[in-house]
A and B are shown apart, each in its own frame.
Chain A
């Protein structure tokens, strides 16, 4: 169990099964009480920009898939890069992918906005550890 009371997790994945799986996993393991699922990276971007009007942005973990139609994970990161610091500083990106493609993997490791890459199937223990690492120094 992770003790960040207002932590929220945003899931971005075009695969509906994985969205459901990850949502159930997070709820079951009580990682976060708020889970928002988007099957399209654009919709997630829209949601995040609407957050600007909030008085305070809650600590947020984004679980981002790599390959998606329309806008893939890297394109999402590129667009998100230009977001105001008020939003960006509260969002932590964990890439989640089943890809073994060398190009995909090295691009992920090279991206400074990505905290970690987790491989599918997503394991509760790995996700918990990654989230704990993110908030350890804070």
Chain B
């Protein structure tokens, strides 16, 4: 296991120190020696060492000066200073200037030096592993960004073409389709597209920086309702916004939260309900906004209430199509902006979600 050996460069102008070091440590480490800073620098050009030990008191340039010189070109090797006299000024200087890991008094104590070398190598290894992990993470991050981009484009683009073809076939009546196969294709495509959109939403929520801007809840809620109303025109929406003060928050995440909850309130209605109803209320205070979304839909079984915010959890007692990701995204988005959510539900009667979001407006106090 040659690669696991610790490689050390030891620089000292006294030849007998170099020899003594070699004799004492060559069985444990791979040792290179140089008798001047100049020679040491020459050696470092061809050999990659983990640890450099240098004597402080050398002619031409001292150990500290040497470490200081190589600090920028060779930041990785751990540096140990060997000094014969315990001059505090020297040591302080060494630590401040040369990024020195440790200093050892001469004559060295063999056990102490062994321990210092091993500690230094451990730190060297940890730093190297950390660097590798950072590189790896950067690469994964980069791939993830490209993946999201290609999901949002390459995966979606052919789906939109299929929808376009279905639309066109209806316009020109060129396809005989007595069994309604085209409608079935459309339903499937829309379901798949809904799932792609949720995935993109999830990644955008987890990666986008939080940005605070002024929010008008009245407008935001009506925009959300407008995009779901057509799914069930029978639903009565009652909107109650009490916004006496400005509210600042993250528009993207708050609309993700509202969109998912309103979409659920619309989707999970009882098929035989004669007065399907969704009530939305917002109360803005200087430090928070409280939102509630209430429906008289199918409700959630009490044993499922603890699981609804988990990824890919789907209630089995309804036969509605769902991806099991919507409420998980709601929870994640709330985590990002420091909000909380509570749910109350009676199976067969309806569901109430209550959300509290901090107001990021800085009022003059």
Measured CB to CB, the residues of A under 8 A from B are: 15, 17-18, 21-22, 24-25, 28-29, 67, 98-102, 104, 119-124
Is B153 at the interface (CB under 8 A from chain A)?
yes
A99 partner, pick from B152, B172, B204, beta carbons under 8 A: B152
A24 near B172 with CB under 8 A, answer yes
B164 near A21 with CB under 8 A, answer yes
A25 near B168 with CB under 8 A, answer yes
Q: Which residues of B, 157-190, contact A by the 8 Å Cβ criterion?
A: 157, 159-161, 163-165, 167-168, 171-172
On chain A, the residues within 8 Å of B164 by CB distance are 17-18, 21-22, 25, 120-122
**A102 vs B163: C-alpha distance when bound (angstroms):** 22
* Secondary structure type dominating chain B contacts: helix
A120 partner, pick from B152, B157, B171, B200, beta carbons under 8 A: B157
**A5 vs B204: C-alpha distance when bound (angstroms):** 45
On chain A, the residues within 8 Å of B152 by CB distance are 99-101
On chain A, the residues within 8 Å of B159 by CB distance are 98
B161 near A120 with CB under 8 A, answer yes
A15 partner, pick from B157, B171, B172, B197, beta carbons under 8 A: B157
**A124 vs B167: C-alpha distance when bound (angstroms):** 9
Residue on A nearest B171 in the bound complex, by CB: A28
B204 near A102 with CB under 8 A, answer yes
**A99 vs B155: C-alpha distance when bound (angstroms):** 10
On chain A, the residues within 8 Å of B165 by CB distance are 17, 21
**A98 vs B189: C-alpha distance when bound (angstroms):** 14
On chain B, the residues within 8 Å of A121 by CB distance are 160-161, 163-164, 167
User: Can you spell out 14 A-B residue pairs with CB atoms less than 8 angstroms apart?
Assistant: A21-B165, A22-B164, A24-B172, A98-B153, A98-B160, A100-B197, A101-B149, A101-B152, A119-B160, A120-B157, A120-B163, A120-B164, A121-B164, A123-B167
**A76 vs B172: C-alpha distance when bound (angstroms):** 32
Closest Cβ–Cβ distance, residue B59 to chain A (whole Å): 61
Is B156 at the interface (CB under 8 A from chain A)?
yes
On chain B, the residues within 8 Å of A101 by CB distance are 149, 152-153
Closest Cβ–Cβ distance, residue A19 to chain B (whole Å): 10
A17 partner, pick from B161, B167, B197, beta carbons under 8 A: B161
Closest Cβ–Cβ distance, residue B195 to chain A (whole Å): 13
On chain A, the residues within 8 Å of B163 by CB distance are 120-121
Q: Which residues of B, 247-306, contact A by the 8 Å Cβ criterion?
A: none
Closest Cβ–Cβ distance, residue B164 to chain A (whole Å): 4
A21 near B153 with CB under 8 A, answer no
The verdict on A24 contacting B168 (CB below 8 Å), with A100-B200, A102-B204, A121-B163 known, is yes
Closest Cβ–Cβ distance, residue B208 to chain A (whole Å): 8
**A104 vs B167: C-alpha distance when bound (angstroms):** 25
**A28 vs B197: C-alpha distance when bound (angstroms):** 31
B161 near A25 with CB under 8 A, answer no
The verdict on A18 contacting B153 (CB below 8 Å), with A100-B197, A123-B167 known, is no
Closest Cβ–Cβ distance, residue A127 to chain B (whole Å): 11
A18 partner, pick from B161, B171, B197, beta carbons under 8 A: B161
Closest Cβ–Cβ distance, residue A9 to chain B (whole Å): 16
Closest Cβ–Cβ distance, residue B250 to chain A (whole Å): 13
Query: What 17 new A-B contacts, CB under 8 Å, besides A17-B161, A25-B164?
Result: A25-B171, A28-B168, A29-B171, A67-B153, A67-B157, A98-B156, A99-B152, A100-B152, A100-B153, A100-B200, A101-B149, A101-B153, A102-B208, A120-B161, A121-B163, A122-B164, A124-B171
Closest Cβ–Cβ distance, residue A81 to chain B (whole Å): 24
**A124 vs B170: C-alpha distance when bound (angstroms):** 12
On chain A, the residues within 8 Å of B172 by CB distance are 24, 28
In this complex, which of B161, B163, B165 has the most chain A Cβ atoms within 10 angstroms of its Cβ? B161
**A124 vs B149: C-alpha distance when bound (angstroms):** 28
Residue on A nearest B200 in the bound complex, by CB: A100
Closest Cβ–Cβ distance, residue A119 to chain B (whole Å): 8
On chain A, the residues within 8 Å of B157 by CB distance are 15, 67, 98, 120
On chain A, the residues within 8 Å of B200 by CB distance are 100
Closest Cβ–Cβ distance, residue B174 to chain A (whole Å): 10
Closest Cβ–Cβ distance, residue B157 to chain A (whole Å): 5
**A123 vs B166: C-alpha distance when bound (angstroms):** 11
In this complex, which of B156, B160, B200 has the most chain A Cβ atoms within 10 angstroms of its Cβ? B160
A100 near B156 with CB under 8 A, answer yes
Closest Cβ–Cβ distance, residue B158 to chain A (whole Å): 8
On chain B, the residues within 8 Å of A120 by CB distance are 157, 160-161, 163-164
**A122 vs B62: C-alpha distance when bound (angstroms):** 75
**A17 vs B168: C-alpha distance when bound (angstroms):** 12
On chain B, the residues within 8 Å of A102 by CB distance are 204, 208
